[in-house]
């Protein structure tokens, strides 16, 4: 296993171990827990001293989030417990109330515990707002190892996205239609894929090294985005595919799985080493067949046909999503790319 040779200068403080969640409430004193019901119900008995307030993380407007933040008392620690939504709402509560923040991810399907802004969805549109650095991210192996496997294997999505994002960025910067090329960040993103490839089967096994490496990749990724002031090395046409899917269907699925499908399709359509990403997805056990994900072919079809127009209308970073013309040949390639 090669070391991740960090490119970013710094990163969020993180603690890895077994049983770190046990008695956390006793250690922290007065807490406000921002949670998603599923993981919280499952593990709350281990938290210790009961929180003074429990906030359920849901899709909320900035105004609604601010109203909740105003009700947070002084002198508490905000503890995010759950997946991306819990991390994002906890970050918002910390940002608005100024109270300390500890994040406890219970799954690894998204990088939200290592990014500073909150992804806020309003009317199926994602925007990034706020700024939060947690005092610590606590990765309790025993929690992540007992999570259903798709919540870990989906986690490759926000790293695998570097594969397509790199090609998008290169193409766009060659045309002078982008944030200028940055060799350090671009090289780093290729390295993340190498590390991911090496650790993919460990991620499938939910082993300590698999979970830890995935989290370290996120940590590095999150801080590099912050240093650069953008995430072009990590976000491109595969994410624009995902956002178009959300717009077209009015719903979403697990972010990492949706992004992974985007990487597979775009790689196949742009002849960008599809076999490699397919092999990583398979080794990591990431679900990608539409049937398995409860997606109809019609939904993919409509997403791909709308992707160009939507990406242009939303003014996303110039990418292959902006130039791909989708006809029957492309749809057939996409179908094969997802083993459908």
**Interface residue list for Zn ion (CB under 5 A):** 158
Indicate the SS3 state at residue 16: strand
* Least distance between Zn ion and beta carbon 92 (Å): 18
* Least distance between Zn ion and beta carbon 129 (Å): 16
CA 248 to chain centre: 20
d(CA 209, CA 274): 26
Closer CB to Zn ion, residue 92 or residue 243? 243
- Alpha-helical (H) ranges within 31-148 are 37-43, 62-70, 84-97, 141-146
Residues contacting 15, CB < 8 A, separation 6+: 136, 137, 138, 139
Q: In degrees rounded to 5, what are phi and psi of residue 130?
A: 85, 180
Closer CB to Zn ion, residue 140 or residue 238? 238
Closer CB to Zn ion, residue 158 or residue 257? 158
Closer CB to Zn ion, residue 65 or residue 258? 258
* Least distance between Zn ion and beta carbon 239 (Å): 6
Closer CB to Zn ion, residue 31 or residue 260? 260
- The residues pairing with 337 across neighbouring beta strands, listed in sequence order, are none
* Least distance between Zn ion and beta carbon 321 (Å): 14
Residues in the chain: 340
Closest residue to Zn ion in the complex (CB): 158
* Least distance between Zn ion and beta carbon 158 (Å): 4
d(CA 298, CA 280): 26
* Least distance between Zn ion and beta carbon 31 (Å): 28
* Least distance between Zn ion and beta carbon 84 (Å): 9
Phi-psi region of 206 (alpha: psi -120 to 50; beta: other; left: phi over 0): left
CB 326 within 8 A of CB 305: yes
d(CA 199, CA 283): 9
* Least distance between Zn ion and beta carbon 287 (Å): 16
What is the residue whose two structure tokens read 């790199």? 166
Closer CB to Zn ion, residue 55 or residue 217? 217
Q: Which long-range contacts (CB under 8 A, 24 or more apart) does 275-278 make?
A: 276/163, 276/197, 277/160, 277/163, 278/337
Closer CB to Zn ion, residue 164 or residue 270? 164
* Least distance between Zn ion and beta carbon 67 (Å): 27
Closer CB to Zn ion, residue 158 or residue 220? 158
Structure tokens given for 46: 């281990």
d(CA 215, CA 139): 8
Closer CB to Zn ion, residue 68 or residue 196? 196
- Count of CA atoms in the C-beta half-sphere (13 A) of 76: 24
- Count of CA atoms in the C-beta half-sphere (13 A) of 202: 15
The C-alpha angle 296, 302, 306, rounded to 5 degrees, equals 150
């Amino acid at each position: 296993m090669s070391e991740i040779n960090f490119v970013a200068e710094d990163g969020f403080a993180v603690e890895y171990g077994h049983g770190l969640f046990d008695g956390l409430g006793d250690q922290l004193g007065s807490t406000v827990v921002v949670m998603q019901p599923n993981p919280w119900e499952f593990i709350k008995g281990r938290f210790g001293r009961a929180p003074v307030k429990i906030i359920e993380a849901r899709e909320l407007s900035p105004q609604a989030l601010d109203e909740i933040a105003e009700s947070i008392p002084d002198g508490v620690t905000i503890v995010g417990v759950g997946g991306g939504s819990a991390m994002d709402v906890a970050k918002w509560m910390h940002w608005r109330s100024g109270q300390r923040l500890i994040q406890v991810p219970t799954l690894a399907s998204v990088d939200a515990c290592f990014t500073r802004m909150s992804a806020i969805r309003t009317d199926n549109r994602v925007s990034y707002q706020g700024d939060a650095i947690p005092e610590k991210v606590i990765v309790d192996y025993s929690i992540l190892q007992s999570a259903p496997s798709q919540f870990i294997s989906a986690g490759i999505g926000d790293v695998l996205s570097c594969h397509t994002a790199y090609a998008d960025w290169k193409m766009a910067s060659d045309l002078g239609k982008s944030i200028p090329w940055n060799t350090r960040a671009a090289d780093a993103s290729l390295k993340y894929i190498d590390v991911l490839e090496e650790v993919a089967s460990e991620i499938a096994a939910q082993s300590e090294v698999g979970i830890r490496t995935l989290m370290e990749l996120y940590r590095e990724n999150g801080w590099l985005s912050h240093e650069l002031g953008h995430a072009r090395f990590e976000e491109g046409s595969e994410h624009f595919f995902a956002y178009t899917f959300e717009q077209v269907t009015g719903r979403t699925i697990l972010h990492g799985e949706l992004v992974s499908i985007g990487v597979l399709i775009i790689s196949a359509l742009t002849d960008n080493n599809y076999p490699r990403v397919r092999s990583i997805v398979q080794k990591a056990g990431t679900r990608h067949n539409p049937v398995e994900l409860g997606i109809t072919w019609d939904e993919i079809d409509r997403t791909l046909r709308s992707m160009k127009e939507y990406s242009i209308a939303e003014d996303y970073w110039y990418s292959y999503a902006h130039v791909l013309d989708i006809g029957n040949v492309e749809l057939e390639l996409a179908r094969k790319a997802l083993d459908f």
